Amino acid sequence: MTDIDLKNPEFYINRELSLLQFNRRVLDLAQDESVPLLERLKYLCISSSNLDEFFEIRVAGVKQQLQLGISTTGADGLLPHEQFEKIQEVAHELVHDQYRVLNKILIPKLAEEGIRFLRRTHWNPEQARWIKTYFTREVLPVLSPLGLDPSHPFPRILNKSLNFIVTLEGKDAFGRENGIAIVQAPRSLPRIIRLSDAVSGAPYDFVFLSSIIHAYVEELFPGMKVTGCYQFRVTRNSDLFVDEEEAEDLLSALEGELPSRNYGDAVRLEVADNCNSKGVQFLLHQFKLSEEDLYQVHGPVNLRRLMAVPDLVDRPDLKFPAFTPSVPAALQPGHDIFEAMSESDILLHHPYQSFNPIVDLICQAASDPNVLAIKQTLYRTGEKSMLVDALVKAASSGKEVTVIIELRARFDEEANIQLASRLQDAGAHVVYGVVGYKTHAKLTMIVRREGKRVKRYVHLGTGNYHAGTARAYTDIGLLSADKTLGEDVHKIFQQLTGLGKAVKLKKLLHSPFTLHKGMLEKIARETEHARQGKKAHIMARMNSLIEPLVIEALYRASQAGVKVDLLVRGICALRPGIAGISDNIQVRSVMGRFLEHSRVFYFFNDGESEVFGSSADWMPRNFFRRVETCFPIEKPDLHERVVQETLVYYFQDNTNAWVLKKDGSYQRVRQGNAQPRTAQQRLLELLSST
């Protein structure tokens, strides 16, 4: 089979279409009757939110390629215009199904549970009076209708904001009769309003802000007749561009770019499905969009806003059961974390095990007089982070605190700029990484004096230092006092903050230097073992798999007889099941209550198996344009835990798993007569406290 060209575009799936397939699987969970009802509503919102970002970043990028006349292709061979046509076809189907799920499935089922969304045509007189009072008191004072004429041109429309195009008859106070106005809903107004108990006919009655504005829009145009009112929303290109080679100050350059994010080029227009053709064409013209960019919808133009509903409804029976993450005995409050780490490496598997020990580690380091320095990378931290508070405390008390903050973490740029300023004010050394390379590695190093020696303690993880996502994302983290690991982490921090040539590490692989080469070598080693007739096995899990050389290497491994088991949550460009190419490869996507975020790589290695955790997916950007780390799990019991908990259990899952087929579609695994097995539920029972 060696004469087969493994670069053949037919062997690769387009990344954009694969990402749309991921959102299709999220939407499938919104239709899964085994999932609690309010959680199904959340999945619908997540599907919509994901699609927003897809248009803001991915579709915007394809449209820019079309505008610039770029004709390059990816490994799949699709030209930009071919990608765009297929994207629009699949995206329109997905949006149609999102509103079908909302209107035909979720709204009726929620109504059965006493959770209702009241249409304005169904308000009884008492409800209408309450809503009219709400409109007059809360909504009307902050609305600013804009009639369009030569002195009032079409306004700048904020990215993803709620707006209305209103058609009118009659003359205004100045004798004008242009007939079109725009009403913009301020973002300060809630999009979902719960009616008071006094007027509710059910335990939880809600009304959309769009319905309220629609019902009383004539109040904004006294003396004129409203002949039509239609909600719309425009999605814009939200990818920031900063020329890092030219920018003298990256922070200032990003601060200057952030306001433009809300007013980039339009890439999608969503309009109420009852809007007439004249209104639709008017809006398309204003935003310089074509018919293929138009999405007419039956319902609120921003489904993501429904995410507020579960928090407004006190129905635990319609949500996932609460659980308490466990804390290993050695890390219980009151224990000396440094002593525990000195005795043995410690593995934390979030969210089943608590993120608090990581915060406690930094807090203990901040107050420990023997700690000399703390160094940490921060990509996303969230607001009001206790971990950041501890770093500020440590810096304020005179410890050497160095923080690598990635200012370019998409959609967290503003938060990270504020974080950088706060840490600098406290006296920390703040570095913005390396020009041209995002710092995506998850590293902490604490330097502590113990008697006559200085010792390093490290944490390496697959997820962000973000307490919120640690409750919702699956990730692993390793706490270690291993001398060699400490030396490797020390060298990486030196590389990030100083100048010098690439350093040689003993245990860690890191991008953009050794990770790609290291993965190819390990895949090649398994391939050679298979050719020698030995057992060979690769298991790997990640968010995305699109790097062509890695995929080629996996194809060669499959041809040689290596068993390749892949868990790829999102994008996968590899086609499994091609005869003579990838018939020894299976690709699964497991989805459920928690977002699968861990990156774990296993190689059988002729019985001397190796397992690694990593901050990196198998994507070109992670291998070549980011600073990433990949760390070994060497302690035998932790090694076995990682293999079982992050790989084996997931390949045994017959409830929340989808299998990728060679045509690029996914088929959900059906348990049939088998005992149902769910990896996430199994881990909750195994690791959490409740």
Check: CB of residue 379 under 8 Å from CB of residue 462: no
As given in the structure block, the two tokens for residue 434 are: 């390396």
Query: Residue 233's closest CA among 146, 180, 293, 277?
Result: 293
**Cα–Cα distance between 281 and 265 in angstroms, integer?**
18
Contacts of 329 (CB under 8 A, 6+ apart): none
DSSP state of 368: -
Catalytic, 440? Answer yes
CA distances to 255, 336, 481 from 343, rounded to whole Å, are 45, 11, 8
Query: Residue 110's closest CA among 101, 120, 122?
Result: 101
Query: Residue 404's closest CA among 373, 366, 371, 440?
Result: 440
**Cα–Cα distance between 158 and 162 in angstroms, integer?**
9
**Cα–Cα distance between 533 and 607 in angstroms, integer?**
13
Phi, psi of 389 (to 5 degrees): -55, -40
Check: CB of residue 1 under 8 Å from CB of residue 65: no
- The position carrying tokens 């929620």 is 110
Check: CB of residue 164 under 8 Å from CB of residue 213: yes
DSSP one-letter string for 207-232: EEHHHHHHHTGGGGSTTSEEEEEEEE
Check: CB of residue 541 under 8 Å from CB of residue 647: yes
Query: Residue 375's closest CA among 461, 494, 253?
Result: 494
10 Å CB burial of residue 672 (0-12, 13-18, 19+) is exposed
Check: CB of residue 440 under 8 Å from CB of residue 379: yes
Check: CB of residue 601 under 8 Å from CB of residue 446: no
Check: CB of residue 462 under 8 Å from CB of residue 596: no
Q: Which residues pair with 167 in a beta bridge?
A: 180, 228
**Cα–Cα distance between 186 and 144 in angstroms, integer?**
9
How many CB atoms are located within 10 Å of the residue 559 CB?
A: 20
The active-site residue, picked from 214, 440, 466, 516, is: 440
**Cα–Cα distance between 285 and 271 in angstroms, integer?**
14
**Cα–Cα distance between 17 and 22 in angstroms, integer?**
9
Q: Mind telling me the catalytic residues?
A: 440
